[in-house]
Structure 1
Amino acid sequence: MAVAVLGGGVSGLAAAHYLHMGHAQTGRVVVVEATNRLGGWINTTTHSDGVVYEHGPRTLRVMGNAGANTLALAESLGLTDRVVAVPYSHPSARNRMILVGGKLHMLPNSLKTALKRTPPFSRPLALSALSDLKTKPVLNADESLFSFVRRRFGLEVAKYAIDPLARGVFAGNARDLSVMSLAKRLHQVEQKHGSVLLGLLKDRKNAEKPDSELAKSELVQKARKERWAVWSVEGGLEELVKTLERRNLEDGVEVRKNTKVKGIVHSGKKLVVQTDDEELEVEKVISCLPANSLSTVVKKMNPDLSRLLGSIPFVTVGVVNLEYTGHLVDKPAFGYLVPSSEPNRVLGVIFDTCTFPQGDRTIFTVMMGGYWFNSIFGDSPTEQDMLDAATYEIRQTLGITCDPDRYVVKILPDCIPQYIVGHLENVSNSRQLLRDHRLPLVLAGNSYDGVGMNDTIMSSKRAVYDYL
């Protein structure tokens, strides 16, 4: 059986790897990538002196089966000795701040701090949590993340916790993002039991069960024993991509770079993938393309599918890495996020060298734009525009007035899909269309079942084992 994997990001590379690892009927596997590099938005710069900048994802969480799966993958690729772990006790795992009124505020990170009033909150977070117990449920199929949290826990929690979190993780507007897509279990237990807190207690039997096979991984066992919060790889996360690429090539996977998919044609029980260079006739296609790209590719083959996929919005993010001499952070932390209610052009600032020190230097990553990119920066900002905004932010908020010694500016167009209200229904309808028309096309990647790297890798694994 021949399989085409569309997209050479981490999800496409993972899909090709899992095809060879566990699907005995797979013969030829071809990965088709439009650009001259693999890895998608995972992008690491390593300078000549060894200093590393991350322009996309920089760490991976350990929690859940998706987190365990990526750890097990790293172990199977021989990366165990190169994994760099950050335990929950580390300041960058414990300390997270928000910027409100021009001041940085540490978010509560323990039961003790949750029982105290911590600015900008007007009352202890524990009292906000208890408000869930006396709030009546609102029965619905989906609603915005902001609306859900505001109903259950109050405006301040929605405004100062959930809003900046949505900006930091999804570069999105919590007032549009779907609670069913991003906090499905919380919504489900409220709908079933009338309360989030009581529902989580009563519904424990339906919580995600640890995968017994993944638990056998020595790296997973080590991470759980040592209570890792997040991890990365020496040299940056692109090393995971490069290792996946090498393993796939060793396994005989054909990789086509600089090859854009123009269309897909249904031919009997097969699909024909059309590119500028050739037509690939295959029995199965795993698409790890962004939904907006796949929408164009399938437009002639299935206009209804194209319409559904095209309705998933994407946002553009500006990322600026700034490097300074010396240790310039007074309070070690992961960094800070900025609520959308603040008159500020940035989404947040990551204190990179608090998590992974790199000698006598301080490195920040400033994230900008997202849902608000065009309204703030216009249609065609320059790299200088982004640099000026980033350095201004560091001067204003952190008081660092010197110019950076070194910097890299990246503008990442349409890099994060937005799971707006109704997203799960949209994805379900898309997959149902594929089944109804008996199209041997499987949807994977970050457009559907989670935007995080762990989720995208898991989606590729499921595409191989559940659908093929």
Structure 2
Amino acid sequence: MKTAVVIGGGVSGLAAAHYLGKKSNFAKILVLEASSRLGGWLQSIHHPDGSVQELGPRSIRPAGRAGQNTLELVEELNLADQVLWVRAQNRYLYVNGEKCALPNSLGALVKAQKPFSRSFLSYIMKEVFQKRSDEEDESIYDFMERRMGKEMACYAFDPLCRGIFAGDIRHLSMRSCFPELYKLEKHYGSIVKGFLFSPKDKSQITSKLVKKARLERWSTYSFRRGVLQLVNALEESLRQTKGTEIHTDAPCSKLHFTSDGKLVVSVNGEEVKADHVFSSIYAKNLSQILSKDHSSFTSDLRKIPAVNVVVVCVEIAEKLNLIESGFGHLLPSSEDRKVLGVVYDSCVFPQHDRQDIPSSRFTVMMGGAWYEELKGMSDQELQELAISSLFTQMGISGTVSKVKVTLMKECIPQYLVGHHQLLERIFTYIQDRNLPLSLVGSSYRGPSINDCINNARIEVERISKLYC
């Protein structure tokens, strides 16, 4: 009877266990979560007044193959009727003390809009005629400054990457953070040419939910009880899957490879012998429980850094009439290093507002690669900074009826320039030694919910062929 152990009960680990139960020949699947709850960075807090606060990711994008895969999983888990979705919404930058709308129509592409001195169309045309780089990898800043100019690098991709990775584009890898754009330049000499001439995905769509999302032009979605509802559905499904066990408060203290090609997992003073282990925990944490005779492997795992993000959920006790409603705004690092951006929660999912009185919800994101500038501040000081920034940037005031400050430690791994070389060494080490270990999760090939679920599926399918 073959046994698979999944370390980590976040969305990556639960997805891996789900696909193992559906696609593999493992008779026993153990999910081991160190904390008392499942979900990892996905945390939806429910209040008696009906409001929902998201402490981590608050929505999921349906775009791309990975987005389609998540929708297929949502449908498989019978969550389709629980989906809350929105079409494309206005997105803003906060630059030079004012909010600036990003272009959201074809017409907006042909005229200059603050903070850009030229139209988006002119930047696009510039990109077409730039030479292809021979660099194996470069920073996102260097790539975008070279192809589209300094303004696009500083005012478009800098805030974008602060929103996605909470990271600094002067250090983040273009190849690893935006692999599709990197490939388009390599294969077609231009991102724009690549979009125009690369083969289109003509695979047949069988999922009703994927068809619905495309027909209705979803921009992003969540669930009636928040994104954690996806985790809860995965848990419920796994607990009904024969041979699958979920254990919380089960921290793994050691992983030891045996001479017969197995892995021994030490957990709460006991040992579990596994035919294969799927680790979904942060790479540095994995390095700390691997046996010392794999020093070069663990050294490379420790070289993948992660940043701390402060999430401040703010509720104001009135329904604000926002002149510029939308998804939210991001700040370039030149504007305010400490504040990454603000999400207009009530504009995106008003269904998550409290039910007893009118209210408006926002989330202020701070820190990331600039967390050192917040280090040492108390929760009260962080709260005051977040509320002050919110009121100033939104041009609003009001009575704060609810506020929650959460420090998410090492929550977003940073794919620095050369990240692909680290991955090559890490995965080659596993392959050359035929180690019964798979690495999934946000440390390696994408930090989003979609990336985590899709990469777990791909790895389970690959490993399942080896254990037929």
TM superposition score category, shorter chain reference: over 0.9
Offset, 1:322: 0.4
Offset, 1:301: 4.3
Offset, 1:339: 0.2
Deviation per CA, 1:231-265, whole angstroms, max 9, x where unpaired?
11111011111111111111142112112111111
Task: Give me the whole-angstrom Cα distance separating, in 2, the residues matched to 1:197 and 1:81.
Answer: 37
* Aligned partners of 1:55 and 1:319 also within 8 Å: yes
Task: Give me the whole-angstrom Cα distance separating, in 1, the residues matched to 2:19 and 2:203.
Answer: 17
Offset, 1:211: 5.0
Report what 1:36 is aligned to.
Answer: 36
CA RMSD in angstroms comes to 1.4
Report what 1:258 is aligned to.
Answer: 249
* Aligned partners of 1:345 and 1:389 also within 8 Å: no
Offset, 1:210: 5.6
Offset, 1:396: 1.5
**Are 2:272 and 1:280 aligned?**
yes
* Aligned partners of 1:286 and 1:463 also within 8 Å: no
* Aligned partners of 2:44 and 2:55 also within 8 Å: yes
Report what 2:168 is aligned to.
Answer: 173
Task: Give me the whole-angstrom Cα distance separating, in 1, the residues matched to 2:456 and 2:336.
Answer: 39
Report what 2:362 is aligned to.
Answer: 364
Task: Give me the whole-angstrom Cα distance separating, in 1, the residues matched to 2:202 and 2:264.
Answer: 39
Equivalent of 1:337, from 317, 323, 330?
330
Equivalent of 1:119, from 82, 96, 114?
114
Task: Give me the whole-angstrom Cα distance separating, in 2, the residues matched to 1:102 and 1:65.
Answer: 38
Could you say what secondary structure the match of 2:400 adopts? coil
Offset, 1:65: 1.4
What percent of counterpart residues are identical?
38
Deviation per CA, 1:11-49, whole angstroms, max 9, x where unpaired?
1111111111111x1111111111110000000111001
Q: Which runs of 5+ in 2 are unaligned?
A: none
Offset, 1:74: 1.0
Deviation per CA, 1:53-81, whole angstroms, max 9, x where unpaired?
11111111111111111111111111111
Deviates more, 1:223-232 or 1:153-162: 223-232
Equivalent of 2:443, from 443, 447, 458?
447
Deviates more, 1:398-407 or 1:270-279: 398-407
Deviation per CA, 1:282-303, whole angstroms, max 9, x where unpaired?
1000110111111112252411
* Aligned partners of 1:264 and 1:301 also within 8 Å: no
Q: How high is the TM-score relative to the length of structure 1? A: 0.94
- Number of residue equivalences: 455
Offset, 1:276: 2.8
Q: Which runs of 5+ in 1 are unaligned?
A: 88-92
Equivalent of 1:430, from 407, 426, 429?
426
Within 5 Å, give how 1:50-449 maps onto structure 2.
50-87=50-87, 93-202=88-197, 204-205=198-199, 209=201, 211-212=203-204, 215-252=205-242, 253-267=244-258, 268-328=260-320, 329-357=322-350, 358=353, 360-374=358-372, 376-378=373-375, 380-449=376-445
Q: Which amino acid aligns with 2:313?
A: N
Task: Give me the whole-angstrom Cα distance separating, in 1, the residues matched to 2:222 and 2:391.
Answer: 29
Task: Give me the whole-angstrom Cα distance separating, in 1, the residues matched to 2:117 and 2:371.
Answer: 31
Could you say what secondary structure the match of 1:416 adopts? strand
Could you say what secondary structure the match of 2:288 adopts? helix
Report what 1:90 is aligned to.
Answer: none
Q: How high is the TM-score relative to the length of structure 2? A: 0.94
Q: Which amino acid aligns with 1:196?
A: I
Could you say what secondary structure the match of 2:417 adopts? coil
Equivalent of 2:460, from 450, 454, 464?
464
Task: Give me the whole-angstrom Cα distance separating, in 2, the residues matched to 1:331 and 1:424.
Answer: 40
Offset, 1:184: 1.8
Deviation per CA, 1:177-233, whole angstroms, max 9, x where unpaired?
11111222222232333322223333x12x6x3654xx2111111111111111111
Could you say what secondary structure the match of 2:459 adopts? helix
Deviation per CA, 1:397-449, whole angstroms, max 9, x where unpaired?
12323331111111000000001111122112211100111101001011111
* Aligned partners of 2:256 and 2:291 also within 8 Å: no
Q: Which amino acid aligns with 1:237?
A: V
Deviates more, 1:322-331 or 1:27-36: 322-331
